[in-house]
Amino acid sequence: MLNRLRHGENTAEDGSSADLSAASVSIRKADFNAPFPAGLEYAAPARGSWNIVHQGMLIPEAHQIFVCAEGCLRGVVLTAAEMGAGERFSMISIREENVLKGDMEDLITDGVSDILKKLRTLPPAVLIYTSCIHHFMGCDLPLVYKRLREKFPTVSFTDCYMNPIMRKSGLTPDQIMRKQLYSLLEPAAEKKENVVDLIGSSFPMEETGDMMRMLRNGGKTVRDLTLCRTYAEYRKMNEASVCISVLPPAKAAGEELEKRLGMKHLYLPFCYGYDEIRENLGILSEKLKIPEEDRESGIALAEKALLAAHRLIGDTPVAIDYTATPRPLGLARLLTEHGFCVSGVYADSFTGEEKEDFLWLQRNAPELVLHPTAEVSMRVMPRHTEKKLLAFGQKAAYFTGTRFFVNTVEAAGLYGYDGVRRTAEMMMEAYLHEKDTKTRIQVKGLGCGCCV
Amino acid sequence: MIKLAFYGKGGIGKSTTVSNLAAVLAGKGLKVMQIGCDPKADSTILLRHGREIPTVLDLVRNRKDDFTLHDMVMVGFGNVVCVEAGGPTPGLGCAGRGIITALEKLNEKGAYEVYQPDVVLYDVLGDVVCGGFSMPMRNGYADKVFILTSGENMAIHAAANIAMALDNFKGRGYAELGGLILNRRNVKNEEEKVGELAGDIHSQIVGMLSQSRIVQEAEEKNMTVIEAFPESTMAEEYRVLAEQILAVSGPVKKPENAEGKGRVC
């Protein structure tokens, strides 16, 4: 029988005693930007966030080839299968004899060649994912790609990585993957002043969002990988004179495009604070020489939606997680400022962009509880709520055990004052409509077109 | 810029020879960078007069990525830019992986662009024991590999292995074998034995060094022979060897100066 206990008590999900002291800290006592100790980690079965397979599949017609030990292939194979993208996915398994022979370069070259020869049609692009063993052994990847490009001159190859040991040093796998998504773009013969690329998001930006409206009304042609249907369309993204990223893990991609293709990169981070939104839209207007939208009406609509949401949700506790939004503290602040009862934020660390909101919450909501998602005691943390709770994101839903949650990842295409408005609307919708949490959150890659 | 890697059995005198070559080349007005690829981290010790230098791997271990290029280098005798890759904790970790990390980190921090050396010398530990130690041979690193050997059987065996590794990499665009350097130990038929090895691997002996007490005396002073005993016969041997190596490796083209005039050494 399951125990129904509140967070903070030292009784685990199964009723046994457990040290849960590392599973929560009030923001008053928390360190910025990593409030929890690093160590053995737990992966919650909330699988909506996109992984490197989902992201790679955004490049139309491209084929993915993973090169690693069979045990490591399991997860990515399942992802591809769940997406119904098995035809665009192949793998090369590494065995101990390859390590002993030192023929890693030949294994990739021969394996990829064999796969490409067996495909019905030669794909225009191939993403090769090498793994930590290549890194350990110093596999000469430039040589591998040189040989493959010579052998298949009509195919564009790029290097992707499934390298968990590099997860906490240098660029993260997420940053690298988002960067590599644009590595197949070649320098354009001519840049087009009116073309703008939106980069690094897994979802298209909503047409109602302030940024998109400004771009459209300013006469800009917007290109976005998530909207490309053919490889030819993708390749035309190289014509943009400006690229815009709004998510922290996409920033490196923009910097790379600026450096390599000479695009002007604007990093205009997704946020909830009206001042920051105003600043970002001001930069957009200035740099692209396009008019700003009516700020006051945007704010008014956002405020109206927040007021309506608060009227409906009232004092119901709200828990937020970092997979749903890149600014969980920004959202906690916005909601606190508007009278909501934010009970918890689930995040293992925060980006530097969240510091101001962190300090604000320390001053104005000192008892707000922060929870990790990967700290190992979260595995046994009781996952129940006695009263109704609204979660913003799958991990928050999982850890609180609520059936009322906003099912979203990475702020899926929201932006600006309109993003605030839509956030409030999504909360109302989630508050009113109960969901089967377990069924919803166990599907990998929310919105990627899962076929199971 | 020319990039040269020096391999050979452990204890054969690579670091001493490479440091003296660095000192000779620096004396010719060239900007030299010497990169020690040995966990012992003592390749450049004579150029830096025994002063401690943080190794690249120490910096990576202790400071993750929070260090600059200048933290990784020390300018030694003759303004030679000294770098030590370092290694893992003795008995633990992977030395080959360490070399890879160190060389990648140097690239990442822009070592070659910032210091713009005319000559880069990689002093690489012993035999090619794994992929990590072949890293300096790869495209983008050394252009030529020189193997130090004496007439001792173990040294010849190690030299043959290194040559075999290079042969395995044929067609990959890696460094070419520049030749053998005979560092004499005065064993019987030494020159003939090394000459025979050179024939077997289709190469040549590019230079020879005598066994000399002067080398040890200079080491006791924590200096190269070039610095400690510049007038000695041994110093002259290093100068001759430097010329022989440059003859095989091609002239060093200095970057163009402000007047747009380059210089060839």
Three-state SS letters, A42-85? CCCCCCCCCCHHHHHCCCCCCEEEEEECHHHHHHHHHHHHHHCC
pLDDT tens digits, one per residue of B180-192: 999 999 999 999 9
- With beta carbons under 8 A apart, name residues in chain A contacting B96: 137-138
Report DSSP state, residue A125: E
pLDDT-based confidence at A165, cuts 50/70/90? confident
Per-residue model confidence (pLDDT) at position B250: 79
Rounded Cα–Cα distance for residues A372 and A374 (Å): 6
Q: Is the pLDDT of residue B126 over 80?
A: no
CA A385 to chain B, closest CA, distance in angstroms equals 41
End residue of a domain, out of A260, A288, A316: A288
Query: What is the rounded average pLDDT for all residues in chain A?
Result: 94
Domains contained in chain A, number? 3
CA A116 to chain B, closest CA, distance in angstroms equals 22
Best residue in A132, A134, A140 to probe B by mutation, most B CBs within 10 Å?
A140
Segment among A8-17, A86-95, B41-50, B198-207 with least mean pLDDT? A8-17
pLDDT tens digits, one per residue of A226-283: 999 999 999 999 999 999 999 999 999 999 999 999 999 999 999 999 999 999 999 9
Amino acid at position B158, single letter: A
Q: Is the pLDDT of residue A77 over 60?
A: yes
A169 to chain B, any CB pair closer than 8 A? The answer is yes
Task: Check whether residue A273 and residue A362 sit in a common domain.
Answer: no
B164 to chain A, any CB pair closer than 8 A? The answer is no
Rounded Cα–Cα distance for residues A247 and A49 (Å): 14
**Is B65–A136 a contact, with Cβ atoms under 8 angstroms apart?**
no
Best residue in B139, B141, B161 to probe A by mutation, most A CBs within 10 Å?
B139
Task: Check whether residue A163 and residue A66 sit in a common domain.
Answer: yes
Rounded Cα–Cα distance for residues A175 and A249 (Å): 5
Beta carbon pairs, A and B, within 8 Å: 28
Confirm if A373 and A348 have CB atoms less than 8 A apart. Answer: yes
- Residue window 170-189, chain B: list those with CB within 8 Å of chain A: 172-173
Answer whether residue A379 is part of any domain: yes
Q: Is the pLDDT of residue B125 over 90?
A: no
Q: Where are the alpha helices (DSSP H) in B169-208?
A: 190-200
Confirm if B55 and B48 have CB atoms less than 8 A apart. Answer: no
A165 or A157: which leads in pLDDT? A157
In this structure, the dihedral spanned by the alpha carbons of residues A31, A35, A40 and A45, taken in order and rounded to 10 degrees, is -170
Best residue in B57, B100, B129 to probe A by mutation, most A CBs within 10 Å?
B100
Per-residue model confidence (pLDDT) at position A95: 92
Q: Residue B109: CB partners within 8 Å, gap ≥ 6?
A: B68, B69, B72
Confirm if A435 and A403 have CB atoms less than 8 A apart. Answer: yes
B66 to chain A, any CB pair closer than 8 A? The answer is no
Q: Which two tokens stand for residue A230?
A: 């053919």
**Is A102–B131 a contact, with Cβ atoms under 8 angstroms apart?**
yes
Q: Which two tokens stand for residue A56?
A: 């790679």
Confirm if A398 and A438 have CB atoms less than 8 A apart. Answer: no
Query: What is the rounded average pLDDT for all residues in chain B?
Result: 91
- With beta carbons under 8 A apart, name residues in chain A contacting B98: none
Q: Residue B233 belongs to what H/E stretch? A: helix B233-249
Answer whether residue A5 is part of any domain: no
Q: Residue B156 belongs to what H/E stretch? A: helix B153-168
- With beta carbons under 8 A apart, name residues in chain A contacting B138: 140, 143
Q: CA angle A8-A13-A17, nearest 5°?
A: 70
Task: Check whether residue A336 and residue A431 sit in a common domain.
Answer: yes
Q: Which two tokens stand for residue A383?
A: 């996952």
Instruction: Tokens 């509880």: give the residue.
Output: A369
* Tally of CB atoms within 10 A around A51: 18
pLDDT-based confidence at A3, cuts 50/70/90? very low
Q: Which two tokens stand for residue A8?
A: 């903070």
* Tally of CB atoms within 10 A around B209: 21
Q: Where are the alpha helices (DSSP H) in A131-184?
A: 132-137, 141-151, 173-180
Task: Check whether residue A216 and residue A323 sit in a common domain.
Answer: no
Confirm if A430 and A406 have CB atoms less than 8 A apart. Answer: yes
Closest residue on chain A to B108 (Cα): A170
Answer whether residue A335 is part of any domain: yes
pLDDT tens digits, one per residue of B214-226: 999 999 999 999 9
Catalytic, B40? Answer yes
**Crossing angle of the two packed helices B153-168 and B190-200, in degrees rounded to 10:** 20
pLDDT-based confidence at A4, cuts 50/70/90? very low
Q: Is the pLDDT of residue A326 over 90?
A: yes
CA A231 to chain B, closest CA, distance in angstroms equals 31
Q: Is the pLDDT of residue A168 over 70?
A: no
Q: Where are the alpha helices (DSSP H) in A314-412?
A: 328-337, 355-364, 394-400
Nearest to A169 among B64, B131, B135 (CB): B64
Rounded Cα–Cα distance for residues B204 and A441 (Å): 68
Task: Check whether residue A240 and residue A321 sit in a common domain.
Answer: no
* Tally of CB atoms within 10 A around A5: 17
Task: Check whether residue A94 and residue A32 sit in a common domain.
Answer: no
Per-residue model confidence (pLDDT) at position A6: 47
Beta strands in B97-220 (DSSP E): 119-124, 144-149, 176-183, 205-209
**Is A140–B65 a contact, with Cβ atoms under 8 angstroms apart?**
no
Per-residue model confidence (pLDDT) at position B260: 45
- The whole-number average pLDDT for the span B31-35 is 97
Nearest to B131 among A137, A169, A170 (CB): A137
Task: Check whether residue A337 and residue A409 sit in a common domain.
Answer: yes
**Is B139–A143 a contact, with Cβ atoms under 8 angstroms apart?**
yes
- The whole-number average pLDDT for the span A426-435 is 98
Rounded Cα–Cα distance for residues A293 and A417 (Å): 11
B62 to chain A, any CB pair closer than 8 A? The answer is no
Provide the residue range defining the domain that includes A96: 60-180
Q: Residue A252 belongs to what H/E stretch? A: helix A251-261
Catalytic, B261? Answer no
CA B114 to chain A, closest CA, distance in angstroms equals 19
Task: Check whether residue A39 and residue A114 sit in a common domain.
Answer: no
- With beta carbons under 8 A apart, name residues in chain B contacting A140: 138-139, 172
Q: CA angle A355-A357-A358, nearest 5°?
A: 60
Q: What percent of chain A has pLDDT over 70?
A: 96
Rounded Cα–Cα distance for residues B14 and B263 (Å): 29
Confirm if A410 and A49 have CB atoms less than 8 A apart. Answer: yes
Catalytic, B109? Answer no
Confirm if B37 and B187 have CB atoms less than 8 A apart. Answer: no
Catalytic, B127? Answer yes
Per-residue model confidence (pLDDT) at position B128: 67
Q: CA angle A360-A328-A161, nearest 5°?
A: 130
Peptide bond into B161 cis (omega under 30): no
- With beta carbons under 8 A apart, name residues in chain A contacting B128: none
Answer whether residue A111 is part of any domain: yes
Task: Check whether residue A78 and residue A145 sit in a common domain.
Answer: yes
Nearest to A138 among B100, B172, B173 (CB): B100
Nearest to B65 among A139, A140, A170 (CB): A170
Task: Check whether residue A317 and residue A241 sit in a common domain.
Answer: no
3-state secondary structure of B88: coil
Per-residue model confidence (pLDDT) at position B244: 96
pLDDT tens digits, one per residue of A130-151: 999 998 888 999 999 999 999 9
Answer whether residue A158 is part of any domain: yes
Given B14, B105, B144, B193, which residue is catalytic?
B14
pLDDT tens digits, one per residue of A377-410: 999 999 988 899 999 999 999 999 999 999 999 9
Domain CATH number, residue A331:
3.40.50
End residue of a domain, out of A148, A180, A212: A180
Segment among A286-290, B113-117, B129-133 with least mean pLDDT? B129-133
Locate the domains of chain B by residue range: 2-248
B98 to chain A, any CB pair closer than 8 A? The answer is no
CA A137 to chain B, closest CA, distance in angstroms equals 6
End residue of a domain, out of A130, A153, A180: A180
Bridge partners (DSSP) listed for residue A115: none
Q: Is the pLDDT of residue A102 over 90?
A: no
- With beta carbons under 8 A apart, name residues in chain A contacting B64: 169
A150 to chain B, any CB pair closer than 8 A? The answer is no
Domain CATH number, residue A197:
3.40.50.1980
Architecture per CATH, B2-248: 3-Layer(aba) Sandwich (3.40)
Q: Is the pLDDT of residue A1 over 80?
A: no
Q: Which two tokens stand for residue B177?
A: 């074998």
Task: Check whether residue A258 and residue A308 sit in a common domain.
Answer: no
3-state secondary structure of A267: strand
Confirm if B252 and B119 have CB atoms less than 8 A apart. Answer: yes
Q: Which two tokens stand for residue A405?
A: 């949650």
A145 to chain B, any CB pair closer than 8 A? The answer is no
CA A152 to chain B, closest CA, distance in angstroms equals 18
Answer whether residue A54 is part of any domain: no
Rounded Cα–Cα distance for residues A320 and A195 (Å): 36
Task: Check whether residue A167 and residue A233 sit in a common domain.
Answer: no
